[in-house]
Amino acid sequence: MGRGRVQLKRIENKINRQVTFSKRRAGLLKKAQEISVLCDAEVSLIVFSHKGKLFEYTSESCMEKVLERYERYSYAERQLIAPDSHINAQPNWSMEYSRLKAKIELLERNQRHYLGEDLEPMSLKDLQNLEQQLETALKHIRSRKNQLMYESLNHLQRKENEIQEENSMLTKQIKERENILRTQQTQCEQLNRNHDVPPPQPQPFQHPHPYMISHQTSPFLNLGGMYQGEDQTAMRRNNLDLTLEPIYNYLGCYAA
């Protein structure tokens, strides 16, 4: 005999209601997972208990992405169905408030999960999805960190190369300046050696012979010279007469 149809109405017994909720919730999550795997469908399930406790399942990595996709799809569909009525209609602030409130609660719950809090209501599948999300986020963080470290290292290497090039240029300029100064110093030393003439050596004094009196010691030798128009023969004769005159005077004194 087959099982009869259960009448759909609220279970008054609190314990029975809680047991039924747990069984049906587990079966519903199992069916959602089966549809996702067997049919390759994107399935998301959200269930709130009578106490406000949240239970969810999603075949995607994040429920938030599914909700955003659903919101975009619903908005586009509403625009296509009744664009004029949507423009002229007054906004339903109550529905907008409920939507934003649910979104905020979802974001806060995801934030607690990312911090490792409020993990007791999560199933094994939810924990695996959360772990996968954290691993993906950690990979992105490490990739970004490595990229920044690589860029910083390249910047430091470029800075080092610039400093080395600047040092090489300064060293080259210093060497060129030293070579110029050394060349100038060598030229100055050569000029000084060329201009340094040794002083004349003093000649020993020789007493003149009493019978040989030169014209340099005679007081009468300041008369010689060559005038314009006077030939060489006349000049030599005048010099000879001036030179012999003192000797004649000297001999004349002895003859007297």
What is the Cα–Cα distance from 241 to 230, expressed in whole angstroms? 16
What is the Cα–Cα distance from 251 to 256, expressed in whole angstroms? 9
The pLDDT assigned to 189 comes to: 86
The pLDDT assigned to 78 comes to: 61
At 56 the three-state DSSP class reads: strand
Q: What is the mean pLDDT of the chain?
A: 75
The pLDDT assigned to 161 comes to: 94
Higher pLDDT, 203 or 134: 134
CA distances from residue 253 to 103, 207, 241, 248 in whole angstroms, order as listed: 154, 23, 19, 9
Higher pLDDT, 85 or 55: 55
pLDDT category at 123 given cuts 50, 70, 90 is confident
The pLDDT assigned to 173 comes to: 94
| Whether 67 contacts 99, CB under 8 Å | no
pLDDT of 85 higher than 70: no
- Closest residue by Cα to residue 35 from 46, 24, 27: 27
The pLDDT assigned to 211 comes to: 45
Q: Which residue has the tokens 């986020």?
A: 137
What is the Cα–Cα distance from 184 to 178, expressed in whole angstroms? 10
In this structure, of 142-146, 217-221, 242-246, 248-252, the range with the lowest mean pLDDT score is 217-221
Question: Per DSSP, what are the bridge partners of residue 58?
Answer: 44
What is the Cα–Cα distance from 95 to 59, expressed in whole angstroms? 27
The pLDDT assigned to 255 comes to: 46
- CB atoms closer than 10 angstroms to residue 129: 20
pLDDT of 209 higher than 60: no
At 228 the three-state DSSP class reads: coil
Q: Which residue has the tokens 């759909």?
A: 8
pLDDT digits (tens, 9 = 90+) for 177-197: 999 999 999 888 888 887 765
The pTM (predicted TM-score) of the whole model is 0.36
Mean pLDDT (whole number) for 196-203 = 57
| Whether 118 contacts 54, CB under 8 Å | no
The pLDDT assigned to 172 comes to: 93
What is the Cα–Cα distance from 109 to 66, expressed in whole angstroms? 16
Torsion over CA: 74, 80, 83, 89 (sign): negative
Q: Which residue has the tokens 């006349």?
A: 234
Higher pLDDT, 6 or 38: 38
pLDDT of 137 higher than 60: yes
pLDDT digits (tens, 9 = 90+) for 22-68: 898 889 988 988 888 888 888 888 888 888 788 888 877 677 777 77
Mean pLDDT (whole number) for 157-165 = 94
